[in-house]
């Protein structure tokens, strides 16, 4: 039904849960799927195996979820970096949650649970957004502001979904 993408701290998981409730469909979060499959938190996987191994795990989980799940799906912020994932998203309604760096920084705080953003979260977010935002926008059927309460963001997305795909649909 809908796949939510966006940077860390954009609210994908929280908004996806609210959206699923509004639409009366299931919810799934690929970050939680990675953790369940590995039996460890993402932070531990990254520390023990490195980002490259984490991305291999993530790709497998995301591909399975895109094939099996027909409700609302929240993807990890970096899942869209994989070309095979980008290709799989073309058949889905993809919603990009766009949030300012300032808002992301305040949501993430000191980023202890987000190892890719430690040290200087704001600088790392700016770098991450420079790389990922063009990908998010290219893949999106809809781009929605992630600012504000999650239930209101979910309501905006639900209204968009009821009117159908954007003028060009998923790219």
Within 10 A of 127 (CB to CB), how many other CB atoms are there? Answer: 12
pLDDT at 164: 67
Residue ranges for the chain with pLDDT beneath 50: 110-111, 114, 166-171
pTM exceeding the 0.85 threshold for the entire prediction = yes
pLDDT at 111: 45
Domain spans of the chain?
2-163
pLDDT at 117: 52
pLDDT at 104: 78
SS3 content of the chain, % helix, strand, coil (to 5): 60, 10, 30
Top-level class of domain 2-163: alpha beta
pLDDT at 119: 63
pLDDT at 168: 39
CA atoms of 146 and 152, how far apart (whole Å):
9
pLDDT at 101: 78
58 contacts 30 by C-beta, under 8 angstroms: yes
């Amino acid at each position: 039904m809908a796949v939510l993408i966006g940077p860390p701290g954009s609210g994908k998981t929280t908004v996806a849960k609210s959206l699923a409730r509004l639409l009366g469909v299931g919810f799934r979060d690929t970050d939680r799927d990675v953790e369940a499959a590995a039996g460890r938190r993402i932070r531990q996987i990254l520390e023990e195996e490195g980002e490259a191994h984490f991305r291999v795990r993530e790709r497998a989980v995301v591909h399975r979820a895109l094939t099996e799940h027909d409700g609302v799906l929240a993807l990890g912020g970096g899942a869209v970096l994989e070309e095979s994932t980008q290709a799989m998203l073309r058949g889905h309604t993809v919603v990009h949650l766009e949030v300012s760096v300032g808002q992301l920084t305040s949501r993430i705080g000191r980023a202890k649970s987000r190892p890719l953003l430690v040290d200087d979260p704001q600088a790392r977010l700016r770098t991450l957004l420079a790389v990922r935002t063009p990908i998010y926008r290219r893949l999106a059927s809809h781009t929605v502001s992630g600012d504000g309460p999650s239930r209101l963001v979910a309501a905006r997305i639900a209204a968009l979904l009821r009117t159908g795909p954007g003028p060009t649909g998923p790219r």
